[in-house]
Structure 1
């Protein structure tokens, strides 16, 4: 492996260690023992859930190829996953608000375990079923757990600022450290122990089962709208009213879709960007480097969120601009650096520059997750939190499906340019959100919900 990869990884590791060890009292939030116990329980569960997800990611495509499926069939399987999340996500989100967030988290575990089991079959229909189950599980992962945490946090009367501490720790461990360990563990199972490409899915199922046991034994139930006479259609209507009646919620949803759409597109683009001529690059090590960069971002976010004087709405404008610039690098290097026509070999000079830019983008991702969670806890109404959060994912999944379907139809620089534009637009919307963040709503969501129930006209902005 080239020295360059070690240098980038080591440099990031040193910066992360320095940031964590140099924290002062200004960078820390004084909390209670009860909260620390609550936070640690959630971080452990969230890390186990993410381990179940991260273990699968690097081996899904590879597993399908070992079963003899071509690029077109594999693309259809991936589209089925995102399409399932788009179609069923809002439904499961509404059920989580109505039937209970704890039940929804347990449902996530069961659904994803079943998805893992389907990977043992080489039958296309069985694998398609697994992708559909995986799409449903993904919707629950990114809505039910956060909804449970926010509701439980306030139910226990913890300080609102402490919520950002749980978010940053969950991202630091679950989206950073656990991702790195999962990648190495998966590599150990497949390559070192030669257990085959389905072994990471079996390991994922085990981690999910352990997490489910902790949820069942230590979590209490909480709900969104406690009303028992509301059907799903009424819940959907209420969530739509909440988004339409509050510009802050609508802006937050657009920002989330733009950023996550660019992030998921980046997942498909970084490999061909770094090896356009089939250069020999260490995919697993680069993935671990990206996750380390994400840990760096979450460590920075924990410091930013600990300061009452610094508003998340303000610094996220800068984060989106930096992320936009970082994904412009493939376009810039294509003009400034003459492309190599030699097949194979090591990573090129332009590839090295792009890798540094991609690490910068991943650091922005690490800042984004706890920050968007903090903003959602402030602006998204508790009564329909899971429903609204999955509404946000509809345009995201639709966009990713379109990109997957047309991934070979556009040059890679066009795709990166599109992502960069989306991220710049997100910074503009974030600026607007920051400008109106302190303005009081003309009517709160509960009032508008009551008017809607009584048939009165709604004052929609």
Structure 2
């Protein structure tokens, strides 16, 4: 493997290590032992959940291809996963608010374990069932755990500012360090030890089972709306009213959908972007480099969120603009840098430039996750948190399904340009969110509190 990749990885590793080791008094918040115990318990569970997710990523496509399915068949399997998340996600989220977030987290573990088991079958229908189960599990992963954390944090009377500590640590570990280790461990199981591409899925099921055992033994149950007279349709109406009546929630949902939609599109585009002429690139090592970049971003976010001088609503505008700029690099290099004509060679000069840009984008992703979690904890009402969060995922999943269906219809430069525009729009909407939030803070009473939203929703509930 070329020295270039080691240099990029090493530089990022030094930056992350330097940031973590240089944290001083200004970056630390005094907490209690009770909070630290609570935080560490959640971080262990979240890391196990993410390990179960990351272990599967590198080998999903490869496993399907080993079973003899072509690109079209595999594409339909992926669309089934996102479509399942879109169709069932809101229902599952509402049940989490009503039936309990702990129960929803356990359901996530069971559902994803079953999805892993289906990977042992070469039958297309069984694999399709596994993708549907995986889509349901994804909706729970990105809503139930965060909802449980926020509710339990508040129920225990911890300082609201301490949530940012848990969020940033969760992303640093679960979406950074665990992702890197999981990718290397999956490679060890499947290739080095020769257990085959199904082995990482079996390992994922084991990690999920361990996490489920910890949830059972140490987590308490919490709910959204405690009333017993609201059916599922009423919960949907209440969540829709909350979004429609509070511009902050609607803006937050639009920002999340645009950014995550661009992020998931990037997942499918970075490989052909870096190897347009089938250049020999180390996919696993580049993936680990991206995850290291995400760790760098989460470390930066931890510093920003613990300093009162930096508002989340403010610095995220810059993050979205920087993300939009990185996605313009493939477009710019296609005009300014002569394309490589060597098939199967090493990465081109244009590819090197794009790799640097993609690392910057992944750092922005690392900043985005804890920051969006912080904003959701501030603006989304507790009684319908999981429902509303899964409402946000509906346009996201529609967008990703459309992209997957038409991935060969447009040049890569057009796709990246489209995502760049979406990220620029996210920055504009973030500016609007900051303005609205400042206006509401300046008022003695905010009309968009949860009680008044319930009052607004009452005519619909009759």
Task: Give the TM-score normalised by the residue count of structure 1.
Answer: 0.98
Q: Where does residue 338 of structure 1 map in the other structure?
A: 338
Give the drift of 1:454: 4.6
Q: Where does residue 193 of structure 1 map in the other structure?
A: 193
Does 1:449 pair with 2:449?
no
Give the drift of 1:401: 0.2
Does 1:427 pair with 2:432?
no
Give the drift of 1:443: 4.0
Instruction: State how 1:210-229 maps to structure 2 within 5 Å.
Output: 210-229=210-229
Give the drift of 1:226: 0.4
Give the drift of 1:456: 9.7
Give the drift of 1:308: 1.5
Tell me the SS of whatever aligns to 1:439: helix
The change in CA–CA distance for 1:350 and 1:94 in structure 2 (over 3 A counts) is same
Aligned length: 457
Give the drift of 1:446: 1.9
Give the drift of 1:324: 0.5
2:22 & 2:453 partners in 1: Cα distance? 48
CA contact (8 A) 2:59 2:197 kept: yes
Q: Where does residue 133 of structure 1 map in the other structure?
A: 133
Q: Compare 275-284 and 307-316 and name the one that shifted more.
A: 307-316
Structure 1 stretches of 4+ moved >3 Å: 454-457
1:455 & 1:409 partners in 2: Cα distance? 43
Give the drift of 1:41: 0.5
Q: Deviations over 1:285-339 (max 9, x none)?
A: 0000000000000000000000122110000000000010011100011111000
2:331 & 2:179 partners in 1: Cα distance? 29
The change in CA–CA distance for 1:185 and 1:229 in structure 2 (over 3 A counts) is same
Give the drift of 1:71: 0.6
Q: Where does residue 255 of structure 1 map in the other structure?
A: 255
Give the drift of 1:229: 1.3
Q: Where does residue 436 of structure 1 map in the other structure?
A: 436
2:4 & 2:197 partners in 1: Cα distance? 29
Give the drift of 1:439: 2.4
CA contact (8 A) 2:82 2:400 kept: yes
Does 1:47 pair with 2:47?
yes
2:435 & 2:348 partners in 1: Cα distance? 43
Instruction: State how 1:109-148 maps to structure 2 within 5 Å.
Output: 109-148=109-148
Give the drift of 1:342: 1.4
CA contact (8 A) 2:171 2:298 kept: yes
Give the drift of 1:451: 4.0
Tell me the SS of whatever aligns to 2:160: coil
For structure 2, the 5+ residue unaligned runs are 441-445
CA contact (8 A) 2:237 2:460 kept: no
1:449 & 1:207 partners in 2: Cα distance? 40
2:18 & 2:11 partners in 1: Cα distance? 11
Give the drift of 1:444: 2.4
1:52 & 1:326 partners in 2: Cα distance? 30
Does 1:98 pair with 2:98?
yes
Tell me the SS of whatever aligns to 2:438: coil
Q: Deviations over 1:18-58 (max 9, x none)?
A: 00000011011111110000000001100000000000011
Q: Where does residue 284 of structure 1 map in the other structure?
A: 284
Q: Where does residue 302 of structure 2 map in the other structure?
A: 302
Q: Where does residue 266 of structure 1 map in the other structure?
A: 266
The change in CA–CA distance for 1:246 and 1:3 in structure 2 (over 3 A counts) is same
1:232 & 1:455 partners in 2: Cα distance? 13
Instruction: State how 1:164-203 maps to structure 2 within 5 Å.
Output: 164-203=164-203
2:376 & 2:64 partners in 1: Cα distance? 36
2:310 & 2:156 partners in 1: Cα distance? 26
Tell me the SS of whatever aligns to 2:362: helix
2:101 & 2:112 partners in 1: Cα distance? 16
Does 1:239 pair with 2:239?
yes
The change in CA–CA distance for 1:455 and 1:214 in structure 2 (over 3 A counts) is closer
1:203 & 1:281 partners in 2: Cα distance? 27
Q: Where does residue 161 of structure 2 map in the other structure?
A: 161
Task: Give the TM-score normalised by the residue count of structure 2.
Answer: 0.98
1:421 & 1:448 partners in 2: Cα distance? 33
1:222 & 1:450 partners in 2: Cα distance? 23
Q: Where does residue 28 of structure 1 map in the other structure?
A: 28
Q: Where does residue 353 of structure 2 map in the other structure?
A: 353
Instruction: State how 1:314-325 maps to structure 2 within 5 Å.
Output: 314-325=314-325
Q: Deviations over 1:167-212 (max 9, x none)?
A: 0000000000000000000000011110010000000000000000
1:446 & 1:343 partners in 2: Cα distance? 63
2:234 & 2:34 partners in 1: Cα distance? 37
Tell me the SS of whatever aligns to 1:195: coil
Give the drift of 1:436: 1.1
Give the drift of 1:341: 1.4
2:456 & 2:415 partners in 1: Cα distance? 45
